[in-house]
Amino acid sequence: MSAASVSELLARQKAAFTAAGPVSATVRRVRLQAVIDLLVRHHRALTDAMDADFGGRRRGYSMMNDILGPLSSLKHVRDHFEAWMPDEPRSAAPYEAIGGQAWVRYQPKGCVGIIGTWNAPLFTLLSPLACALGAGNRAILKPSEVVPRTGEVLAAAFAEMIDPLEVGVLLGGPDVAQAFTRQPFDHLVFTGSTAIGREVMRGAAEHLVPVTLELGGKSPTLVGRSADLGMTAFRLAAAKVTNGGQICVNPDVTYIPEDRLEAFIAAFRVAYEELLPTIRDNADVTAVVNPRHSSRVESYVADAAARGLRIESLSETVPADDTENRRRGARLVVNPGADALIMQHEIFGPAMAIKTYHRIEEAVADINSRPRPLALYYFGTDEAEQAFVLDHTISGGVCINEAMAHGGLHDAPFGGVGDAGMGHYHGREGFIEFSHLRTVYKASEIDPRKEWGMVPPYPEWLEGALEASITP
């Protein structure tokens, strides 16, 4: 596809949106159901494509994350959007005394552009699409070029089953993505890195397009002294093995009390190696998506080794230069400094930093010294400590005694803050995100402004009356 293709399809969608007028609940339901039917019909071809693109990704995992995940989002919106549609009455003060009325109308914005990512190639496209369609919009999807087979299958499925003037799919590389971000969409959604997110926002600024940015960052885990280390280690290990750690809300750096470090590492090793006892030929291990990303993760570990840091390798060690097999076991890097590469970049792969602390305040201060993360995890049963962590940190979302689960909640907003992004999708907040909140005021037939001295010629007594109204 070319930049002209993006512009042409968007222009046609906008014309169709204007010509169609108000988008009824029936039309919205039909569009949502069409995407649901598409996933049901093509799920095998899509999961096979993801396996091929990654060079090893369990079809079962792809079904959980990229088929059932967006299916659940689509069904939740399908089953609830009608309750979100009605006008919302608001106070008409100060005009209520003369019979004024006010309400908020939720109108579709028009055409929404959605740029997905490679690590969750269907979820990051179709989960926000659910909210966009529920709000009455049309959409154009741009799959990641890093997973080309998945993009091709998805594009063919949409071309077969859905009118491109309702939901279109455009394929292409970075040039198409760049052109995509510079189109006059009515809203733009991007999932990806913080660095690219800044570029997306610059492009959207050309037409003052509102954006939803789901980015990332170094999502921290705070393990309190009250935490059950066995449970904590298992749940963090389960998160780390998920998609080979290639998830935006994956635990990146874990803070552990210094006197519990060895016990935690031992518990984590047991939990991780129970889940993945082998690596190289284990189909349960999701491969790092391509040689470039594999080299990136390995460079963080190599930098830690060059600094003389302690590195714990779990399960089977696969040589870093084995680019034919990109399955890797997790590496734990203990107490890296702020200048270590693994602390300067989101890992997005099978590795994790561990930092020790004496007092929870130290760990919180270290987290707050870096950009705000997309997610934060706290493990422990100390209610006062839990409250301290929640009160003194800011992140996109939080899990307590779990990791990553908040991103799967369909009735709660998912999104970032600061460098981790802006805006939300999921649930009613997603419906609102893709709606124009249009205030409507309806005046009564009575207009007392002359009698009240509110229009020229202003009476002498007006200033005194207004002065009397200025009260604390």
Angle formed at CA 138 by CA 170 and CA 71, multiple of 5 degrees: 80
Owner of token pair 């519990």: 260
d(CA 298, CA 304): 10
Q: Sign (positive/negative) of CA torsion 192, 195, 198, 204?
A: negative
195 phi/psi in degrees, rounded to 5: -60, -45
Token digits for 64? 């959980």
d(CA 370, CA 360): 16
Left (φ > 0), alpha (ψ -120 to 50) or beta: where does 423 sit?
A: left
Strands (E), 125-242: 138-142, 167-169, 187-191, 211-214, 220-223
> Count of alpha carbons within 13 Å of 314, Cβ hemisphere only?
27
Token digits for 388? 């301290």
Angle formed at CA 184 by CA 179 and CA 185, multiple of 5 degrees: 95
- Catalytic residue, chosen from 111, 131, 166, 248, is 248
318, 284, 285: which is closest to 301 by C-alpha?
Answer: 318
d(CA 314, CA 332): 8
Give 355-417 as a DSSP string.
Answer: EEESSHHHHHHHHHTSPPPSEEEEE-S-HHHHHHHHHH---SEEEESSSSGGGG-TTS-B---
214 is catalytic: yes
- Catalytic residue, chosen from 166, 214, 298, 346, is 214
Active site residues: 214, 248
